[in-house]
Structure 1
Amino acid sequence: MITSRALVAGVGLAALATSAFAQTAPSADEIAILRAQVQALSARLEQLEAQSQTQTQTPAQAAAAGTPAPVAAPAPRPVAQAATATTSVDWATGLPELRSPDGFTFKPRIRVTADLSNTFGSDFDSRNLTTTELRGLRLGAQGKTPGGFSYWIEGDIADNSVSVANAFMSYNRKLGGRDLEVSAGQRLNDRGVEGGTAEDMVPFLERSLMVSTVGPERGAYGVGLSSKLTGSVWHASLSLTGDAISGGTTNDSVTLMARTHWSPFKTDAGFLHIGGWGFVEDLTPNASVASRSLVVSSRGNDNLRLAGGAYVDPKGSKGLGLELGGVHRSGWLMAEGGKRVVETAARDYDQDAYSISAGFFITGEKPPLSTRTGTWSRPKVLNPLGTDGYGAVEVVGRYDTADYSDSPTGGEGDTWLLGVNWYPTNNTRVSAHWSAWSVDNRTGTFAGDDSGNTATVRVQTAF
């Protein structure tokens, strides 16, 4: 109010000064006209001030003053804020991962693997096959829910049949600065470097004979409880499981399994890997344990298998495995070996196996052996295929052997393998592997000592 009146006075003085400058002695009529103009301007300013005060009043203040409550203009819709509160999508891994503001995530999983295989040199003509196979079509999803929970479910279509692979829910939290995971459901065994790695991440087209030999009767999957504690260069796991998902017409076997590994001397150049694992299983009172049919070189040739032998009146089995290897710059070396003892009413039978494998990235990538989990992951390609890149190239080799000859019906066999893996991108792989194999089965259609060669080409994409 004071400011407005000062303004009015200033305007009046300016008008008087102007008039005085024009003529030194203004008339009475001119003075009256100027006075009327100043009064009118002052009244107008007082009206504008009153309107301004009314607009800034709250409804309660307006009611107390006896003035009408101001009508607030409608607030603009928070368009930008509403957009940020919706679900976000992350394409960093190649497939969309949906993330909600309240902590839910959902990510699809896809794996497609196709093989072309040729076996030659066998003494049995029906073993010399050229085959094509959709090695696996795996579809699934994984994600997280609020409170530290996560889920993972996958179905696999292979060999003209559908099966469930990983299907579990887990709870994750920190324990003494380490990562603790407790899960319930069906998941892959934590059993050695190759045995605990998903098939699409193992450097070879098939897991070794050692993995197939030293393991529980139920195979690579079991339904139950499992736990894992992980540090920066070590982990330890413990699981108690029954059989894999089945029809529920017989009693399940029960398996207790544990594994630990340590990666000491870790530097930018590499690290040492030391590990061990074991299991004890209580088998159901079936009439016999069926003879295992182990993959040799390629799963596409069902006539090329190693027969493990049948065991009458089994009671249980136990196994022990050891791991020793390491990584240095772009190369890696790993030895795994173990023994399984099958306990029957008559006596115990030994099953022995081991493997020695190595690899080298000639394009300079680091071998993707995790110091945290002691398993393989996908390599991080330095120069993906494109305008200036050609992908990653890895040369691999392996010798593996399995011996079931302690049983009168068990065979023995071994393979020498050499291969090249080309990774155009982090999620694609083209492999060409050749192996020289020797198999001596004591029973079955292909009984006797036999040897030959198998060459396999694989194309794979996995997300």
Structure 2
Amino acid sequence: MMIQRALLAGVGFAALSTSAFAQSATPSADEISALRAQVQALSARLEQLEAQSHAPAPAAAPAVAGTPPPVAVTPRPAAQAAAAPSPVDWASGVPELRSPDGSFTFKPRMRVTADLSNTFGSDFDGRNLTTTELRGLRIGGQGKIAGGFTYWIEADLADNAVSIANAFMAYNAKLGGRDLEVSMGQRLNDRGVEGGTAEDVVPFLERSLMVSTVGPERGAYGVGVSSKLTGSVWHASLSLTGDAISGGTTNDSVTLMGRTHWSPFKTDAGFLHLGGWGFVEDLTPNASVAARSLVVTSRGNDNLRLSSGAYADPKGSKGLGLELGGVHRSGWLMAEGGRRVLETAARDYDQDAYSISAGFFITGEKPPLSARTGTWSRPKVLNPLGTDGYGALEVVGRYDTADYSDNPTGGEADSWLLGVNWYPTNNTRISTHWSAWSIDNKTGTYVGDDSGNTVTVRVQTAF
């Protein structure tokens, strides 16, 4: 701006000088008036230019068609930077690591469960035990990989031994608008409501006798291929597996298993649950004897078990289970039952079991039975323990029974259970369960009809 003022002043001075020298040495009054007018016009122009220098810059004119717009580098607004997803998410209580585009994730998994158990009233003093047990210490991780893949691996430290639980990789996609998952590795059986649910979220401290009885010889886990198709109120699964992770010194048994469930009449108040599952297994010839020792009410007391008896030269087995129950507001009810037929060289043996269970959230939470997967999850506590909260309180009950008496050396057992589950937060649980049990074993250390009571207190945290 100073340069413009100097130029204009110079022009004005030059005009005056030129005019002066162009005229005579003594200019007339008219000439002086004309020169004065020119100087005043130049001064007004200077003031106009100064005013324009302080005004805001005009908006850029629209670009001419065919001309590329100018490239401008501007700093990223603070609000936009704050809205970007964080590479670490603590929403579930443990850090979930994520790549900038969200294609890769990793989240650790952890579970700590400790039990105090007291059994009394048995006719056998060896069963009247008070025990403490680290029921389970499970550590692992899960996440997803770009391209629709997920993974899950965890190890369980229990009973002074280390074992691998879930250890698989899965591919996830959409099929007809439904969620399709195909996995390879070792994972928990999809076998009924309780049998297909992780132990830390089942409403009871132990799965029922029905789950232990009507199942393949290999147990709750098997290595192989599994597939699952899930809709809004139903799912169907199919798996082909061998034995659980082992040393690889013998042939594996082979099991084909399938399950489906449907949750009709779903409303905000609840839904009805219908389901069924079955399996067929081919047992390896190395399994010369098939016998089971089933937990009755508490895993902390190993003297309190049901013996299925021995079965010589087993060839295979097949099982069928049914599910019927539902959820209404804060209450739930579930009945599960089934039969396993064990095939041997001599003859076939029937193994029967069923359970009826129910629960109610006194604090108003919705029972966490999924209408999509037909399994349990953790409850969403309405008022977590804190300044104004007290957690969630649930009352549960169950009757379960198992019958191996088709085998002359097989026993029978049943139990009545009543318990209270307190969930201070979504990830913590303190439970007190009392059960009245009855066992009639035909073989083993404790033979004969016996009954008693067991009280178990559990403290658990899981992420």
Asked whether 1:288 is paired with 2:288, we answer yes
State how 1:1-400 maps to structure 2 within 5 Å.
Answer: 8=8, 88-102=87-101, 103-400=103-400
Q: Once structures 1 and 2 are overlaid, which stretch shifts more, 100-109 or 211-220?
A: 100-109
Q: Distance in 1 between matches of 2:335 and 2:188?
A: 21
CA shift, 1:89, in A, is: 1.1
Q: Distance in 2 between matches of 1:169 and 1:326?
A: 32
Q: Distance in 1 between matches of 2:376 and 2:155?
A: 21
Query: Residue by residue, what CA displacement relative to the aligned partner does 1:291-334 show, whole Å, maximum 9, x if unpaired?
Result: 21100010000111000111111110000000000111111100
Q: Distance in 2 between matches of 1:206 and 1:25?
A: 120
CA shift, 1:83, in A, is: 9.0
State how 1:364-443 maps to structure 2 within 5 Å.
Answer: 364-443=364-443
Query: Residue by residue, what CA displacement relative to the aligned partner does 1:14-49 show, whole Å, maximum 9, x if unpaired?
Result: x99xxxxxxx959879959x87x979x99xx9xxxx
Q: Distance in 2 between matches of 1:256 and 1:126?
A: 40
* C-alpha distance 75-414 of structure 1, shift in aligned 2 (>3 A): same
Query: Residue by residue, what CA displacement relative to the aligned partner does 1:246-265 show, whole Å, maximum 9, x if unpaired?
Result: 00000000000000000001
Q: Distance in 1 between matches of 2:388 and 2:327?
A: 28
Percentage of pairs with the same residue: 84
Q: Distance in 1 between matches of 2:112 and 2:369?
A: 23
CA shift, 1:199, in A, is: 0.2
Q: Distance in 2 between matches of 1:329 and 1:84?
A: 37
Q: Once structures 1 and 2 are overlaid, which stretch shifts more, 154-163 or 80-89?
A: 80-89
Partner letter of residue 423 of structure 1?
Y
Q: 2:113, 2:460 within 8 Å by CA — same for their partners in 1?
A: yes
Q: Distance in 2 between matches of 1:26 and 1:138?
A: 108
Q: 1:86, 1:100 within 8 Å by CA — same for their partners in 2?
A: no
CA shift, 1:188, in A, is: 0.2
CA shift, 1:86, in A, is: 8.7
1:70 — aligned with what? none
Please report the TM-score for the alignment, with normalisation by the length of structure 2: 0.85
CA shift, 1:408, in A, is: 1.7
* C-alpha distance 384-87 of structure 1, shift in aligned 2 (>3 A): closer
Partner letter of residue 231 of structure 1?
G
1:458 — aligned with what? 458
Structure 2 regions of 5+ residues with no counterpart? 17-27, 50-71
Partner letter of residue 323 of structure 1?
E
* C-alpha distance 87-453 of structure 1, shift in aligned 2 (>3 A): same
Q: 2:182, 2:226 within 8 Å by CA — same for their partners in 1?
A: yes
* C-alpha distance 368-287 of structure 1, shift in aligned 2 (>3 A): closer
Partner letter of residue 129 of structure 1?
L
Tell me the SS of whatever aligns to 1:451: strand
Q: 2:118, 2:130 within 8 Å by CA — same for their partners in 1?
A: yes
2:66 — aligned with what? none
Q: Distance in 2 between matches of 1:355 and 1:440?
A: 18
* C-alpha distance 357-86 of structure 1, shift in aligned 2 (>3 A): closer
Tell me the SS of whatever aligns to 2:212: helix
Query: Residue by residue, what CA displacement relative to the aligned partner does 1:61-105 show, whole Å, maximum 9, x if unpaired?
Result: xxxxxxxxxxxxx97887979998896111111111111123101
Q: Distance in 2 between matches of 1:217 and 1:137?
A: 25
* C-alpha distance 30-270 of structure 1, shift in aligned 2 (>3 A): same
Tell me the SS of whatever aligns to 2:211: helix
1:64 — aligned with what? none
Query: Residue by residue, what CA displacement relative to the aligned partner does 1:181-240 show, whole Å, maximum 9, x if unpaired?
Result: 000000000000000000000000000000000000000000000000000100000000
2:54 — aligned with what? none
Q: Once structures 1 and 2 are overlaid, which stretch shifts more, 410-419 or 83-92?
A: 83-92
Partner letter of residue 431 of structure 2?
S
Number of equivalences: 421
Partner letter of residue 393 of structure 2?
V
* C-alpha distance 354-27 of structure 1, shift in aligned 2 (>3 A): same
CA shift, 1:268, in A, is: 1.0
Q: Distance in 2 between matches of 1:351 and 1:25?
A: 134
Q: Distance in 2 between matches of 1:331 and 1:242?
A: 38
Structure 1 regions of 5+ residues with no counterpart? 17-23, 46-73
Q: 2:385, 2:391 within 8 Å by CA — same for their partners in 1?
A: yes
* C-alpha distance 433-30 of structure 1, shift in aligned 2 (>3 A): same
Tell me the SS of whatever aligns to 1:251: coil
Q: Distance in 1 between matches of 2:410 and 2:381?
A: 43
Partner letter of residue 91 of structure 1?
W
Q: 1:288, 1:310 within 8 Å by CA — same for their partners in 2?
A: no
Q: Distance in 2 between matches of 1:342 and 1:122?
A: 31
CA shift, 1:286, in A, is: 2.0
Tell me the SS of whatever aligns to 1:110: strand
Q: CA RMSD in A?
A: 3.1
